[in-house]
């Protein structure tokens, strides 16, 4: 990618990667084109962006003429971040949602039990992470709304069924099916170097039903396939949704993968912060980002902040661009 990309460009790129509709894609591509530094090393990227923009404009004009509208199911994003559960039929996606959250999805010993994406909130220490259960992906069945869900999520959990001899192949089917689209899975979330239209979502491999007969042998077989028929780079977590084995580690891994920090706010007259309700911002986020979560106005009027935390002396006065650390208590002054 071109050097010297500005924070504004990178932010637009992140929004584009997560776009769920052609309109959203177009909007952020235009911002990317406007913000890209105009020099020799970015020429290829500039021309890629221009051709993508003109193609999308043609497509949406054609759709309008045909009276069609882009479809997407938007589940309002909540909590410190969102992880989407994916996998073949019967892998245990709904059982995992039920074990990790207070949601009560239907869990049943036959395929295609789940028909609609459904969210639940997973408690982790003093925050919540949104998990979204989804219908299965098979060579013949791929709900179109899944694209937007996967792109928009911070993390994907690819669930593999170690309780059935078909489980590994069904996982490969999911990866192959996604490989035919522009929505794919990888170790980290990013856009493709050679085709900015391809969006990768960070993924954990969740190997479920380790309690089942023959699961240990299937796990060994799976390890033999990693690197050839399965991507080597995905971190794996061996669990049993039914017996809750490995679920605490999985919870922590999900939260850690979101790469957020928790910040507690207090008002100048308050002695202690309201420790029950932290705000979460991406690691590297600033005091300004925290203020924006509270109110846009507050962010605009912010003069300075005082911080209590591990990286600073108690009550240190900082400006809006100060990078916050996990556990910081922040007092905002307008
Ligand atoms: N032994 C064992 N069985 C499990 C485990 N997790 C889920 N199951 C069983 O596997 C079957 C399928 O579970 P679901 O959670 O409905 O699977 P799903 O992936 O949501 O399936 P679809 O919605 O059809 O895609 C059910 O009979 C569950 O009881 C587990 O950890 N161990
Ligand atoms: Mg299900």
Ligand 2 centroid – CA 118 distance (Å)? 10
Question: Each residue of 264-277: pLDDT tens digit?
Answer: 998 777 766 666 67
- Residue 304 belongs to what H/E stretch? strand 304-309
The pLDDT confidence band at residue 334, using thresholds 50, 70 and 90, is confident
Q: Supply the pTM of this predicted model.
A: 0.87
Question: Each residue of 34-82: pLDDT tens digit?
Answer: 999 988 888 988 999 999 999 989 887 877 776 655 445 567 777 899 9
Average the pLDDT over 3-27 and give the result: 87
Atom of ligand 1 at shortest range from CA of 208: 31
Please tell me the distance from the alpha carbon of residue 74 to that of residue 23, in angstroms, as a whole number: 14
Question: Each residue of 243-266: pLDDT tens digit?
Answer: 999 999 999 999 999 999 999 998
Mutation probe of ligand 1 site: the residue of 107, 111, 138, 163 with most atoms within 8 A of C-beta: 107
Please tell me the distance from the alpha carbon of residue 305 to that of residue 319, in angstroms, as a whole number: 6
Average the pLDDT over 120-138 and give the result: 96
Ligand 1 centroid – CA 181 distance (Å)? 27
Phi, psi at residue 52, to the nearest 5°?
-65, -40
Question: Each residue of 171-218: pLDDT tens digit?
Answer: 999 999 999 999 999 999 999 988 888 999 999 999 999 999 999 999
The mean-pLDDT minimum among 3-7, 74-78, 102-106, 148-152 falls in: 74-78
Say if ligand 1 is within 6 A of residue 164 CB. Answer: no
The domains found in the chain, sorted by start residue, are 7-65 (no CATH), 82-258 (3.40.50.300), 260-333 (3.10.20.30)
CA 61 vs CA 16, 22, 50, 64: distances in Å: 20, 11, 17, 5
The pLDDT confidence band at residue 1, using thresholds 50, 70 and 90, is low
Mutation probe of ligand 1 site: the residue of 89, 91, 95 with most atoms within 8 A of C-beta: 95
Rounded to 5°, the CA angle 221-226-227 comes to 145
Question: Each residue of 4-13: pLDDT tens digit?
Answer: 788 889 889 9
Question: Each residue of 79-101: pLDDT tens digit?
Answer: 899 999 999 999 999 999 999 99
pLDDT of residue 229: 76
User: For residues 242-261, b (16+ Cβ closer than 10 Å) or e, as one string?
Assistant: beebbbeebbebbbebbebb
- Residue 183 belongs to what H/E stretch? strand 183-186
The pLDDT confidence band at residue 228, using thresholds 50, 70 and 90, is confident
Ligand 2 centroid – CA 116 distance (Å)? 9
Ligand with the closest atom to the CA of 111: 1
What six digits make up the tokens of 261?
A: 């920090």
Mutation probe of ligand 1 site: the residue of 90, 158, 170 with most atoms within 8 A of C-beta: 90
Question: Each residue of 278-299: pLDDT tens digit?
Answer: 999 999 999 999 999 888 888 8
pLDDT of residue 71: 47
């Amino acid at each position: 990618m071109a050097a010297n990309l500005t924070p504004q460009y990178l932010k637009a790129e992140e929004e584009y990667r997560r776009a769920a509709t052609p309109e959203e894609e177009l909007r952020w591509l235009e911002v990317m084109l406007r913000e890209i530094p105009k020099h020799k090393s970015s020429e290829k990227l500039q021309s890629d962006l221009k051709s993508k923009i003109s193609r999308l404009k043609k497509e949406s004009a054609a759709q309008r003429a045909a009276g069609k509208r882009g479809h997407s199911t938007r589940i309002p994003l909540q909590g410190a971040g969102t992880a989407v559960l994916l996998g073949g039929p019967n892998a245990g996606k709904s059982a995992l949602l039920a074990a990790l959250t207070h949601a009560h999805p239907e869990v049943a010993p036959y395929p295609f039990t789940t028909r609609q994406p459904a969210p639940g909130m997973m408690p982790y220490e003093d925050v919540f992470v949104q998990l979204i259960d989804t219908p299965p992906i098979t060579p013949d069945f791929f709900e179109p709304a899944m694209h937007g869900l996967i792109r928009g999520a911070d993390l994907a959990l690819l669930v593999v069924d170690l309780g059935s001899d078909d489980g590994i192949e069904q996982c490969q089917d999911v990866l192959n099916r996604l490989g035919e689209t522009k929505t794919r899975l990888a170790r980290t979330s990013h856009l493709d170097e050679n085709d900015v239209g391809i969006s990768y979502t960070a993924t954990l491999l969740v190997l479920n039903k380790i309690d089942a007969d023959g699961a240990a042998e299937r796990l060994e077989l799976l390890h033999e396939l990693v690197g050839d028929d399965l991507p080597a780079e995905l971190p794996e977590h061996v669990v049993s949704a039914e017996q809750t084995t490995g679920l605490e580690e999985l919870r922590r891994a999900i939260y850690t993968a979101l790469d957020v920090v928790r910040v507690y706010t207090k008002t100048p007259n308050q002695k202690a912060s309201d420790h029950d309700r932290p705000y979460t911002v991406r690691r590297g986020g600033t005091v300004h980002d925290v203020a924006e979560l509270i109110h846009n106005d507050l962010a605009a009027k912010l003069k300075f902040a005082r911080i209590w935390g591990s990286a600073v002396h108690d009550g240190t006065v900082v400006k809006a661009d100060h990078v916050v650390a996990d556990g910081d208590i922040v007092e905002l002054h307008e």
